[in-house]
Structure 1
Amino acid sequence: MYARLRAYEGSPAAVGGRGGDPVNAPMIRHWCEATGHPVPPDGSAPATMLQVWTMAGLAGEGGRSGPYDELLRTLDEAGCTSVVATDCEQEYARPLRPGEEVTFDAVIESVSPRKTTKLGTGYFVTTRMDIRADGEPAGTHRFRILKYAPAQRTSAKPEKKTGTGAEARRPRPVVNRDNAGFWEGVARHQLLIQRCDACAALRFPWLPGCNACGSQDWSTVAASGSGTVFSYVVMHHPPFPAFDPPYAVALVELAEGVRVLGGVTGVPYDKVRIGMAAELEFRRVDKELELPFFRVREEAEAEAEAEEEAEGEG
């Protein structure tokens, strides 16, 4: 079976694909508004929009060709009828500017040996898309899916496992060349923010280039750790090993102005509110992994502590 699947490696997944619209200012503006970043001063598209211009939407799959469909059908026939997107990687050659026409070709880059995961057993399929703007290389997009046969559940109600016990491990973060420095900071109990060397704009999460000016030169600053809860969500389901719902996850606006997601400590999950003071802390969630969390406090409590500190200094 694996030999049959590997025969598809190198086959086209899309040939002569063309973006549904030229790169355009309205789409760039909508994207920037949705992500909370300013439109670059030169009006170019943020690099992270690379995939947007190639998506076919509800109308169809653009230039997608036969071999990719055949590969997916072969996996379906082998019982791998479920699919989940696992990760993607992007490389940027140059900014995309309004008015440029986007074209692309894609290839089936690799099919993994059969893998067993908690979702089920199947194969990872990676496609690579080479994207051009007005005929010039603009970037590369690698997209990976898992086509799998769903695992058989042994019972209708799986045994519940608690949050940080030795019996369960948290999922590991995906560390790559673009974010390795962030995780090195976490290991030192630092929350590192990128700072553009060209325009000094701060950004988080980590990205290869600046959202404001497009520069790829950057350094880092360590966050003070103080902030406020900008938004939050309470997770009630699904039950998952190493997590014990319900629990709260907050989007914290740091004093530096960037926003960071993190687990919440300090108050019960149903007491978290927007505007609460938050302070960074690092917690060991299993024997091998520490993660940034935020200890939140009610505003009155935070103000009282600040007054006590001020009086002590006086």
Structure 2
Amino acid sequence: MADPELQSKVRALVGREYGRVNAWDEVNAPMIRQWCEVMGLDNPLYSNPQLAAKSSNDGLVAPASMLQVWCMEGLHANNYPPGSTTENPYEVLKLIESYGYPAVVAVNSELTFERNVRPGEKLYYTTRLDAVGDEKTTGLGTGFFVTLIMSYFSEQAAGDEKVGELLFRVFKFRPAHVQKPAAAAPEVPAAAKRPKPGVSDDSRFFWDGCTEGKLLIQRCTQCATLRHPPAPVCIECHSFDWDTLQASGKASLYSFVVMHYPEVAPFDHPNPIGLIELDEGVRLVAGLVGVKREDISIGQRLQVEFQTFDGDLALPMFRPLAE
């Protein structure tokens, strides 16, 4: 049963409203264009002013799913624009943690939209601690489901207008521990291995190539279009006929993330992962090696190198080239 003092403190926080977090920039066409490019969207309502002006929207709009993006802090954590609140809307998680519930896992995130937003609008959001459930026991452990609601607004001269809402729910818990018989000898944990990729008839050539130290890209034999990840049909001419091209392995860094937490064995952390643009024109996701976080930069030149893990798993990794 949960500590009565903790329950009392948590109940006192439920319903609390936290101040606004401002967007760094107005809704703008360049960010919309980049988002659509990354997500593979080609809807003219997002990119073609002439066609969008003839639609029921009467002009360009931003993809609805970008709503959360406009108010994000950017590359550095908690780097919010001037005028944003300094309150911590996650203080309830710190409170629960102080009573012996150290772990957290995201449960669900739900976006709802009041209307489309347009280039030129300036957005912000406020946060409300909507609910903290009673103590529950799950397969992960015992803890509390915490629900926060972020309400998004557009600044308007006649009064700010709500444009959407994000429901974010996490489980803050004390991990379950399996009790072993007292007389049982301690088990030596097996060394964690890298998860192996799913291999299908469409992708087998790629992984076989990695084993041989070759970076093979699928190529349509009818129109010569390269495609990755591998697929059974050409994305351009819809032909089923294909062969492979051995890529040079030279590439540029198109984008990247650095995984810090949770730390998952057997990966080293921080764990940089890049979206790699090969010189041949296709992109793939791969690990970055031989580089520190502060030395990673978009556009830097890379070269593939194949590394073998657990004796039989060959993976393409990319190392920055010297200037």
Under a length normalisation based on structure 2, what TM-score does the superposition of the two structures give?
0.41
- Bigger radius of gyration among the two: 2
Higher RCO (CA 8 Å, separation ≥ 6 residues): 1
